[in-house]
């Protein structure tokens, strides 16, 4: 949680690539340090130290991906972060299975092996261009255009994207209270357009914790043992959870830019709620039906994981990376990652007590209710960003929240009912924004300026 807040000055100093390189070095040193600790205090100290490069990297990688990606595939490129996070979780669970019978040093191997992915990272990061939007912020326009040319199919497309980005950036600087660290931080909650983006980012990030996935990930072996599995069986069941989490993140690469961010969240949260509820109810089966209980617990958790992996899982870090203005993007992403990590720690620390106090039935039913809460927040505070440039997203968040909720309730919901329940293919949806009118208004404003 400390690391996310130092990402802004480090980004300003080192750039996106430089920060990723430096944090990669930190994420090589700290896992190796944990493997060689001798006391609990040393392990805790190194673990806390590791949080700094991890937090800074988590607040930067998705921003970098969103800034370099073409609009049509920005979602797929950006959720590559989540794809490889889930792969890392799967590899970590596989490592647990591999070293389960190794005496004494198993935990050292588990913790120390985390340095391996950072080794190729610190070399490969120099093969990609720096973010052209970061270069423009630094006044390095020749380098920014060269970066855009590497990232677009033709110099003409590169010039177009650079022009749009530069014009909007100049407007953002003029509207911002200031460009200092603290002024940009307060803008997240002071400026209406940025405050709406902060609320949307917070909703997707906190939704990842309210849905219960990290609790299941952290305590998967405990959950499966509560369902009647032996220790070894619980490890293998956890491995299955990790495999599904990774495998079903892959379809999200193809759905996020066609089906949309908001649509994926609204269509997956109800199923996540249902299968968490069914998981909790499965624990009510008596010991005489233990084989049935263990099978149902695993099946419902696995199905829940499938819906998570194509919805909330990849979108949590994608959405905050694309909704903030260029001036505030580092601070906005830091805010979102901080909220995610804070509630991950809070829920992770309280889950064992929750499990003892409410039993598995109560704990899973509680998280089913929290999924419903997250769904309602998505409905109110998360506009669609599919197919929009980072600059067009600025206009989406200029719409007041009450107007957005009114539009979704009175226009989008009736259209959805006619189109997908009554199968009326002629149903027409009135758009939230008139893009042509807005573009003309923006052009007039720029000419006047």
pLDDT at 445: 45
Angle at CA of residue 321, ends 243 and 377, nearest 5°: 80
Q: In sequence order, which ranges of 227-289 are alpha helices (DSSP H)? A: 231-247, 250-255, 261-282
H/E run at residue 443: helix 435-448
The pLDDT tens digits for 82-125 are 898 889 888 888 887 887 777 778 888 888 888 988 999 999 99
Distance CA 173, CA 320 (A): 20
Structure token pair of residue 209:
């914790």
Residue 17 is encoded by which pair of tokens? 């690539």
Q: Tell me the torsion sign for CA atoms 235, 236, 239, 245.
A: negative
Measured on CA atoms in the order 58, 60, 61, 62, is the torsion positive or negative?
A: positive
Q: Tokens standing for 296?
A: 């149902």
Task: Say which residues have a Cβ less than 8 Å from residue 116's Cβ, sequence separation at least 6.
Answer: none
Count of Cβ atoms closer than 10 Å to residue 115 Cβ = 18
Per-residue model confidence (pLDDT) at position 303: 94
The string of DSSP codes covering 136-166 is HHTT-HHHHHHHHHHHSSSHHHHHHHHHHHH
Q: How far is CA 248 from CA 50, 58, 68, 268, 395, in A?
A: 29, 21, 25, 13, 32
User: What is the model's pLDDT at position 448?
Assistant: 45
Q: How do residues 326-368 score in pLDDT, each as one tens digit?
A: 888 888 999 999 999 898 888 888 888 888 888 888 988 999 9
Give CA–CA dist 108/110, Å, rounded: 5
DSSP code of 409?
A: I
Q: Is the dihedral of CA 77, 79, 82, 83 positive or negative?
A: negative
Phi, psi torsion values for 296, nearest 5 degrees: -70, -40
Note the pLDDT of residue 19: 94
Interacting residues of 294 by C-beta distance below 8 A, sequence separation 6+: 224, 227, 228, 229
Tokens matching residue 239: 């491995």
Tell me how far apart the alpha carbons of residues 383 and 401 are, in angstroms, rounded to a whole number.
10
**CA 52 to CA 377: how far, in whole Å?**
30
Tokens of 66: 């969103």
Cα 403-404-409 angle, rounded to 5 deg: 100
Residue 449: how many CB atoms within 10 A of its CB? 9
Which residues of the chain carry a pLDDT beneath 70? Answer: 175-179, 435-449
> How far, in whole angstroms, is CA 254 from its chain's centroid?
17
- Helices and strands counted in the chain (H then E): 24, 0
Helix axes 2-35, 61-68, angle to 10 degrees: 120
Q: In the numeric block, which tokens belong to residue 182?
A: 């603290």
Name the burial class of residue 164, with classes exposed (0-12), middle (13-18) and buried (19+) by CB atoms within 10 angstroms of its CB.
middle
Do 321 and 66 touch, CB atoms closer than 8 A? yes
Residues 219 and 351 sit within 8 Å (Cβ to Cβ): yes
Given this model, what pLDDT does residue 338 score? 92
**pLDDT score of 439:** 53
Max Cα-Cα span within the chain: 78
């Amino acid at each position: 949680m400390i690391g996310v807040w130092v990402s802004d000055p480090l980004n300003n100093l080192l750039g996106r690539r430089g920060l990723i390189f430096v944090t990669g070095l930190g994420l090589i040193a700290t896992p190796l340090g944990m493997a060689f600790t001798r006391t609990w205090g040393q392990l805790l100290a190194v673990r806390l130290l590791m949080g700094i490069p991890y937090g800074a990297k988590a607040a930067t990688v998705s921003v970098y991906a969103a800034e370099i990606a073409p609009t049509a595939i920005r979602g797929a490129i950006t959720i590559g972060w989540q794809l490889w996070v889930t792969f890392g979780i799967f590899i970590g669970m596989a490592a647990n299975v591999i070293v389960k019978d190794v005496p004494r040093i198993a935990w050292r191997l588990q913790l120390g092996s985390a340095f391996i992915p950072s080794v190729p990272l610190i070399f490969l990061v120099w093969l990609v261009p720096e973010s052209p939007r970061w270069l423009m912020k630094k006044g390095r326009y020749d380098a920014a255009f060269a970066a855009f040319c590497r990232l677009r199919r033709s110099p003409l497309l590169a010039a177009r994207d650079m022009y749009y980005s530069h014009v909007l950036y100049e407007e953002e600087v003029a509207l911002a209270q200031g460009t200092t660290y603290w002024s940009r931080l307060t803008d997240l909650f002071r400026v209406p357009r940025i405050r709406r983006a902060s609320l949307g980012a917070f909703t997707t990030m906190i939704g990842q914790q309210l849905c219960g996935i990290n609790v299941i990930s952290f305590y998967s072996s405990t959950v499966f043992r509560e369902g009647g599995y032996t220790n070894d069986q619980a490890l293998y069941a956890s491995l299955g959870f990790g495999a599904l989490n990774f495998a079903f993140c892959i379809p999200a690469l193809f759905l996020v830019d066609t089906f949309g961010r908001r649509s994926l969240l609204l269509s997956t949260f109800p199923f996540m709620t249902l299968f968490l509820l069914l998981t909790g109810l499965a624990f009510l089966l008596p010991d005489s039906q233990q084989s049935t209980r263990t099978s149902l617990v695993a099946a419902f958790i696995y199905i829940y994981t499938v819906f998570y992996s194509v919805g909330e899982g990849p979108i949590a870090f994608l959405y905050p990376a694309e909704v903030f203005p260029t001036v505030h993007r580092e601070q906005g992403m830091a805010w979102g990652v901080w909220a995610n990590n804070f509630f991950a720690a809070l829920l992770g620390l309280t889950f064992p007590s929750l499990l003892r106090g409410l039993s598995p039935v109560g704990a899973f039913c509680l998280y089913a209710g929290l999924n419903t809460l997250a769904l309602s927040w998505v409905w109110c505070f998360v506009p669609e960003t599919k197919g929009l440039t980072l600059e067009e997203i600025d206009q989406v968040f200029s719409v007041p929240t009450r107007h957005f909720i009114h539009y979704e309730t009175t226009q989008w919901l009736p259209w959805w009912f006619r189109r997908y329940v009554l199968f009326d293919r002629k149903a027409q949806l009135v758009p939230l924004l008139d893009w042509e009118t807005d573009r003309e208004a923006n052009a007039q404003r720029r000419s006047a300026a």
